[in-house]
Amino acid sequence: MSDTAAPTGAVAANPDPDDRKTDGSARWNQTLRDITGGSAMISILAVVFALVVGAVLIAFTNERVQETAGYFFSRPGDLLQAVWDAVAGAYSALFQGAVYNFRANNFLTAIRPLTETLTFATPLIAAGLGVGLAFRVGMFNIGGRGQMLMGAGAAGWVAFAVELPAGIHLIVAILAGLLAGAIWGGIVGLLKARTGAHEVIVTIMLNFVALYFIQFLLRTPGALQAPGSNNPKTPAMLSTAIFPDLFGPRYNLHAGFLTVIAATIFVWWLLSRSSLGFQFRAVGQNPRAARVAGINVKNIYMYAMAISGALVGLAGINQVLGTVTTGFGAGIDAGIGFDAITVALLGRSKPWGIFAAGILFGAFKAGGFAMQAAEGVPIDIVVVVQALIVLFIAAPPLVRAMFHLPTPGTTRRPKIRAVQAPKTPEVVAK
Amino acid sequence: MKLELRGITKRFGALIANNNISLTVESGEIHALLGENGAGKSTLMNVLYGLYRAEEGEILLDDKVQKFAGPGDAMNAGIGMVHQHFMLVPVFTVAENVVLGHEQTTFGGRLDLSAARAKVREISDRFNFDIDPDARIEDLPVGVQQRVEIIKALSQDAKVLVFDEPTAVLTPQETDELMVIMRQLAETGTSIVFITHKLREVRAVADRITVIRLGAVVGEASPTATNAELASLMVGRAVELTVHKDAPDLRGTALSVKNLTVVDALDQIVVNNVSFDVQAGEVLAIAGVQGNGQTELTQALIGLQHRVTGSIELDGKQLRGYSVRHILDSGVGFIPEDRTEDGLIADFSIAENLMLDRSSGAPFVKAGNLQLGFRAEFAAEKIEEFDIRSQGSDMDAGRLSGGNQQKVVLARELSRGLRLFVAAQPTRGLDVGSIEFVHTRIIETRDSGIPVIVISTELDEVVALADRIAVMYRGEIVGIVPGTTPRATLGLMMAGESAPATEAAL
């Protein structure tokens, strides 16, 4: 009897290599989607909880709190008072440093912190958009640092070494930076599409390639190094290529913020209104179905990484043409490429969500300095709060994936019925 | 052992998946649980197996009320489950799989495999299973693997065996053998719950039939009931199991496949030198047990396979070696066999899914911009035309029922100007009502003069739709026979025996 049985087991599952790859990493893909695709409420709660835990840390590290804790049982009120003072003081300093300074004499001075926040937010939003776009196509772009450095290097070189009329110079510098970022990101897409290399590995490695490449150029006279200097630093940018200040020299906020608003609008249009974005999202959600529907998944990976790289490159451009115009070194990325991952997560990979998350993180940066100056609370607390935000957003899906736990609210079979069955209740009655 | 379910009610949120279901399975009885997909059969069995906790009702074994906190409790109480998808480790031997989770060890923590082997032999002999305890699972045919599952359950002294859609993966012959095994088990006093939606099997083997629809018992029937009676119980109205179709109006060869060979990533030849023609206006069904190269053949037709030799000519134009995009643009419509993975994007709305394979040009895209207004109109029109039951075109496709999901795929593919229509497993997992709808649509497509290829592992479907039937076995076409060929002949061909007499006729 068994001799008539078909050889089903042997050839039952033999999809082509691409399919198998997606099968093998299906759970990882789902996890990525869970992490990046949650609701805004999760983001808000993550921020709130992170601030609460941050408050605990502020209280613990406060000297006055430690002192009063010593005689807690005789006078508990002192401890509570000390905790309140420490936390309220720190967070109000954070707020005043980031949004509105109540102690200032006039409105124009009082609002200055907000412009600082927006200045800090500018590169964060740009890089966050890049990382978020890659998320939507199902890819993790950890290469923000490299793409920023390449974008900054190219834009910076055009800005200090090429002489062009005002206006045109700025535009050419921006385009050079975007192109450099796009190439650096596009390489990742190309490698992923052609060889199947995982973008996480490739982006991380390209970070180092970019770092040492820029360091090399910074030490090479005639390349990026300032003439007559031995420091690994570029000369100052020419004034024709610098983002003009938006509100005059009293404020640091520059026109780069407008490019970021434009980038946000562009990404919104791309993802929700354009045909390319439709294909991006299709590949991000289900690469197999996208392929069957005639979408060239490999090309989509390349386009997406190139655009993602260009957006991250815009962050580098903003650094060198707006924030640090006096010449830059290899540390110009300032860790923004990594903060951008947090920004994209917090913004749920949606353009305006990223915009808001970028401003929040800009506020943390601006306010963190004020907090340290005014209350002596270490600025590291801000870093801890940022890390906690990531943790609160990413941890639940990661833990589920690691321990193979079911996702609550997934559309397993019983739930599918939950949608369809109530539509014909009259039949149940029979 | 006598199994009794009393008033089981299981809710998922607002939905009542099982509504006050009562069921008695006497000792030694084969009790068929018949219902459409989504009727609540699997939910009920998951309640029985301790995977779900019912809100109301109780489970009794030999008149004693049971409380199951999990599958472990259910197993200990004597309930065994043979899953539709086997829970076996492919690289382990039969004996190792049977003891998995209940390993007995000897001194020093070493696995006592000889006891396991003895147990496998003992059970295997009792039912004439003819299974070598040391064979590796991956080397065994599917039908034998299923028997390993049965042994696994019996080795835990299961007195109640639940078979969850056991025949979905079997050849007709293997199905018949399974029926014999189920009979044997019942004769030794095992109670059997047989979950299925295939009417023929139910009538062949069941002692009693309980029909479930929309979470409630709608009736009991005896095995002597006709197919039509059972089917109308299941769907609540009379359904036709055979599609009305007239003789095909043949309009000349449209698709010509010659010497097609596909090599997969593991360097195995999965489709071997296959040639066939399809005429405009006919349905060619490709039958065969799953895994005999049909999937790869389909993928080769649509451009999803890379290592393909031979020729695929549609209306005289070569398609082999072109991209999926080019092939779709050449007028090939395609229903993939795995609808949820390949056919739809679950998180996309119905409207988005309806434009999925036309995302790069008119009418859905103009100058790189999505035409949202047109898309919404198009979706509304198709939802109406194809009777897609939904809460509107913005609803995520993943939240639709299987039948409605398939209607979305069907609507998308049939609303392009087609020159060839390829439907792989078009009704897999669908309820009877949806099957009828899909079949009617396929025949309408044929009658409009489009060549149609239907790939199916369901013999009923093949016989209902086909004008000609090509049977595949181990990557080759065993024979191409007329649609009127008896099932028995087809069954033999699916097991690899050629049918020379009929082959020559065509």
Find, in chain A, the residue whose alpha carbon is nearest to that of B174. A5
Find, in chain A, the residue whose alpha carbon is nearest to that of B339. A289
Between chains, do A275 and B360 touch, taking CB under 8 Å as contact? yes
d(CA A358, nearest CA chain B) in Å:
26
Q: What angle do CA A121, A124, A130 make, to 5 degrees?
A: 140
CATH of the domain spanning B3-235: 3.40.50.300
| B176 has pLDDT over 80 | yes
Mean pLDDT of A229-257: 90
pLDDT per residue over B236-260, tens digit each? 655 556 678 888 888 889 999 999 9
Confidence of residue B300 (pLDDT cuts 50, 70, 90): very high
What CATH number should be reported for the domain holding residue A384? 1.10.3470
Number of H helices, E strands in chain B: 17, 22
Are the CB atoms for A94 and A368 separated by under 8 Å? yes
- Among A3, A14, A426, which would you mutate to test the B interface (most chain B Cβ atoms within 10 Å of its Cβ)? A14
Torsion of the alpha carbons at B444, B449, B451 and B456, rounded to the nearest 10: 10
Residue A122 lies in a domain: yes
- Pick from B251, B296, B246: which is nearest to B278 by CA? B251
Chain B residues with CB-CB distance to A13 below 8 A: 291
* The two structure tokens encoding residue A280: 């991006």
Chain B residues with CB-CB distance to A8 below 8 A: 141-142, 169, 289-292
d(CA B269, nearest CA chain A) in Å:
10
Of A10, A288, A430, the CB nearest to B341: A288
pLDDT per residue over B372-382, tens digit each? 999 999 999 99
Q: What is the pLDDT of residue A18?
A: 38
Q: What is the CA radius of gyration of chain B?
A: 25
Q: What is the pLDDT of residue A7?
A: 38
What's the rounded Cα separation, in Å, for the pair A16 and B212? 40
d(CA A301, nearest CA chain B) in Å:
16
Dihedral pair phi/psi, residue A219, rounded to 5°: -100, 0
What's the rounded Cα separation, in Å, for the pair B288 and B294? 8
**Of A406 and B374, more confident:** B374
Q: What is the pLDDT of residue A408?
A: 56
Mean pLDDT of A37-51: 80
- Pick from B45, B20, B39: which is nearest to B235 by CA? B39
**Of B78 and B235, more confident:** B78
Are the CB atoms for A337 and A214 separated by under 8 Å? no
Domain B253-331+417-505 CATH class label: alpha beta
Between chains, do B214 and A427 touch, taking CB under 8 Å as contact? yes
Mean pLDDT of A149-178: 94
pLDDT per residue over A342-361, tens digit each? 999 889 899 999 999 999 99
pLDDT per residue over B344-371, tens digit each? 999 999 999 999 989 888 789 998 899 9
d(CA B9, nearest CA chain A) in Å:
13
**Of A372 and A314, more confident:** A314
Percentage of residues in chain A with pLDDT exceeding 90? 51
Of B145, B305, B342, the CB nearest to A288: B342
Range of the domain at A208: 40-402
Of B142, B328, B400, the CB nearest to A8: B142
Dihedral sign, Cα of residue A190, residue A192, residue A195, residue A198: positive
For chain B, what is the mean pLDDT?
86
Tell me the residues of chain A between 173 and 232 that have a Cβ less than 8 Å away from chain B: none
Chain A residues with CB-CB distance to B171 below 8 A: 4-6
Count how many domains chain A has: 1
Q: What is the pLDDT of residue B283?
A: 95
- Among A411, A417, A426, A427, which would you mutate to test the B interface (most chain B Cβ atoms within 10 Å of its Cβ)? A417
What's the rounded Cα separation, in Å, for the pair B72 and A128? 48
Phi-psi region of B336 (alpha: psi -120 to 50; beta: other; left: phi over 0): beta
Domains B3-235 and B253-331+417-505 share a fold: yes
Residue A10 lies in a domain: no
* The two structure tokens encoding residue A13: 């599952």
Q: What is the DSSP letter of B449?
A: T
Confidence of residue A428 (pLDDT cuts 50, 70, 90): very low
User: The whole model's pTM is what?
Assistant: 0.74
Question: H helices within B40-198, ranges in order?
Answer: 41-48, 71-76, 94-99, 113-126, 142-155, 172-187
For chain A, what is the mean pLDDT?
84
Q: What angle do CA B466, B469, B470 make, to 5 degrees?
A: 145
pLDDT per residue over B383-416, tens digit each? 999 988 888 888 899 888 888 899 999 999 999 8
Between chains, do B15 and A5 touch, taking CB under 8 Å as contact? no
Chain A residues with CB-CB distance to B272 below 8 A: none
Q: What angle do CA A207, A201, A212 make, to 5 degrees?
A: 20
Confidence of residue B15 (pLDDT cuts 50, 70, 90): low
d(CA B393, nearest CA chain A) in Å:
15
For chain B, the straight-line distance linking the first and the last C-alpha, in angstroms and rounded, comes to 54
Collapsed DSSP state (helix, strand, coil) of residue B496: coil
Q: What is the pLDDT of residue B402?
A: 81
Mean pLDDT of B267-282: 91
Q: What is the pLDDT of residue A24?
A: 43
Percentage of residues in chain B with pLDDT exceeding 90? 32
Q: What is the pLDDT of residue B499?
A: 62
pLDDT per residue over A300-320, tens digit each? 999 999 999 999 999 999 999
Q: What is the pLDDT of residue A402?
A: 65
Collapsed DSSP state (helix, strand, coil) of residue A7: coil
| B446 has pLDDT over 50 | yes
Residue-by-residue DSSP string for B17-66: EEEEEEEEE-TT-EEEEE--TTSSHHHHHHHHTTSS--SEEEEEETTEEE
Residue A8 lies in a domain: no
Between chains, do A11 and B291 touch, taking CB under 8 Å as contact? yes
Mean pLDDT of B275-281: 94
* SS3 labels along B197-259: CCHHHHHHHCCEEEEEECCEEEEEECCCCCHHHHHHHHHCCCCCCCCCCCCCCCCCEEEEEEE
Find, in chain B, the residue whose alpha carbon is nearest to that of A17. B265
d(CA A19, nearest CA chain B) in Å:
10
Chain A residues with CB-CB distance to B342 below 8 A: 288-289, 292
What's the rounded Cα separation, in Å, for the pair A97 and A202? 38
Between chains, do B290 and A417 touch, taking CB under 8 Å as contact? no
- Pick from B469, B488, B487: which is nearest to B479 by CA? B469
pLDDT per residue over A185-215, tens digit each? 999 999 999 998 999 999 999 999 999 999 9
Confidence of residue B427 (pLDDT cuts 50, 70, 90): confident
d(CA A298, nearest CA chain B) in Å:
12
Between chains, do A16 and B304 touch, taking CB under 8 Å as contact? yes
| B320 has pLDDT over 50 | yes
Tell me the residues of chain A between 18 and 57 that have a Cβ less than 8 Å away from chain B: 20, 33, 37
Confidence of residue A164 (pLDDT cuts 50, 70, 90): very high
Residue burial B281-297, b: 16+ Cβ < 10 Å; e: rest = bbbbbbbbbbbbbbbbb
Q: How many CB pairs under 8 A join A and B?
A: 210
Residue with tokens 């000609």: B468
- Among A22, A292, A413, A427, which would you mutate to test the B interface (most chain B Cβ atoms within 10 Å of its Cβ)? A292
d(CA A113, nearest CA chain B) in Å:
40
SS3 content of chain A, % helix, strand, coil (to 5): 75, 0, 25
Chain A residues with CB-CB distance to B306 below 8 A: 16
What's the rounded Cα separation, in Å, for the pair B360 and B369? 10
Tell me the residues of chain A between 378 and 417 that have a Cβ less than 8 Å away from chain B: 411, 413-417
Chain B residues with CB-CB distance to A281 below 8 A: 348
Q: What is the pLDDT of residue A404?
A: 64
Mean pLDDT of A236-256: 91
Find, in chain A, the residue whose alpha carbon is nearest to that of B266. A14
Q: What is the pLDDT of residue A28?
A: 66
Specify which of A97-111, B135-149, B413-427 reaches the highest per-range mean pLDDT: B413-427
Are the CB atoms for B2 and B191 separated by under 8 Å? yes
Q: What is the CA radius of gyration of chain A?
A: 25
Q: What is the pLDDT of residue B237?
A: 56
d(CA A337, nearest CA chain B) in Å:
29
Of B214, B325, B473, the CB nearest to A421: B214
What's the rounded Cα separation, in Å, for the pair B200 and B197? 9
Of A101-105, A116-120, A281-285, B81-85, least confident by mean pLDDT is B81-85
Residues 6+ apart with CB under 8 A from A26: none
| A11 has pLDDT over 60 | no
Tell me the residues of chain A between 253 and 272 that have a Cβ less than 8 Å away from chain B: none
- Pick from B165, B227, B160: which is nearest to B196 by CA? B165
CA B178 to each of CA A2, A132, A147, B346: distance values in angstroms, whole numbers, following the listed order: 12, 53, 61, 36
Q: What is the pLDDT of residue A412?
A: 38
Collapsed DSSP state (helix, strand, coil) of residue B453: strand
> Identity (one letter) of the amino acid at A354?
I
Confidence of residue B481 (pLDDT cuts 50, 70, 90): very high
Chain B residues with CB-CB distance to A293 below 8 A: 324, 328, 356-357, 359
Q: What is the DSSP letter of A244?
A: P
- Among B234, B345, B352, B396, which would you mutate to test the A interface (most chain A Cβ atoms within 10 Å of its Cβ)? B345
Mean pLDDT of A323-329: 90
d(CA A270, nearest CA chain B) in Å:
9
Residues 6+ apart with CB under 8 A from B59: B3, B4, B5, B6, B8, B47, B48, B65, B66, B68
What's the rounded Cα separation, in Å, for the pair A184 and A177? 11
Q: What is the pLDDT of residue A406?
A: 60
Chain A residues with CB-CB distance to B334 below 8 A: 292
| A20 has pLDDT over 80 | no
Of A9-23, B233-247, B417-431, B482-496, least confident by mean pLDDT is A9-23
What's the rounded Cα separation, in Å, for the pair B54 and B30? 24
* The two structure tokens encoding residue A412: 């397993």
Chain B residues with CB-CB distance to A307 below 8 A: none
Confidence of residue A418 (pLDDT cuts 50, 70, 90): very low
Of B144, B352, B494, the CB nearest to A2: B144
d(CA A279, nearest CA chain B) in Å:
7
Between chains, do B15 and A417 touch, taking CB under 8 Å as contact? yes
d(CA B434, nearest CA chain A) in Å:
14
Domain ranges in chain B? Answer: 3-235, 253-331+417-505
Confidence of residue A405 (pLDDT cuts 50, 70, 90): low
Mean pLDDT of B313-340: 92
CA B316 to each of CA A294, B252, B275, B332: distance values in angstroms, whole numbers, following the listed order: 22, 12, 15, 14
Q: What is the pLDDT of residue A411?
A: 38
